[in-house]
Structure 1
């Protein structure tokens, strides 16, 4: 058990002949008591400071641990968000490519249909022109026949004559 200032103060030494000067020993012991009390007080203060610092260290360690966990969670969330964004972008690209293919196929189909319709119209125009030519030629043949001159002379005789 450590010595206390009270132990030092109450300590009595046996007396002998030719011993130490009692006043001098008492003054020295008083100085030791004072210094020892000061050391004990300082030791308690340092112990209290140590406890305070340990509590602060624990507090900051907890904050550091919480921040580390928060950073890890935030990084994981950011990575997941980035991954999801890439997936979504890939889906959008694929969907756009499908739509583009569909639009191109529709346009090609319409183009083929229009080309067929144009060909059909060209054929019909050619047939119409041939028939019209045949009709006109037939009409010309009719006009070239001999019966028309007699018809013209009859018309001239039937015309009313002017009276003056």
Structure 2
């Protein structure tokens, strides 16, 4: 089983016990306002998402990690790697993403987890380039991207929802 420890976090595969806390995160309109059309997800949609994330691990050898706080064992959300199928114009690509519960914002957890996932992508999985995609105006996510050393690659329009997206990227030669 793939696990990564950082000073404060455990990045690990998903368990049944993660469904309720992740469903709570996905039900928060403040968390979800930057994702897809901004709609919250119900527990069934969250369960289906976790199942898809686990299948991506099996199919691709990478995926979205559950992010657990080492100090308390709480599920903070996720970070990790996925293929952004929804955005064909950036393919082939692997995206790094994250989603944390509101109570975990502003404490550096997203940057800490994403840095570990980026290192996993470039060093462990041998990827030579990683992108990150955010809805334009999502300053918090774009700040994490900059902390990772990513640079703006392009701005495009979401093919389904029509809002502007920023695509940041980093390749192995830029990673330090």
TM-score bracket, normalised by the shorter chain, equals: under 0.3
Higher strand proportion (structure 1 or 2): 2
Q: Which has the larger radius of gyration?
A: 1
Give the TM-score of the pair, scaled to structure 2: 0.13
Give the TM-score of the pair, scaled to structure 1: 0.13
Higher helix proportion (structure 1 or 2): 1
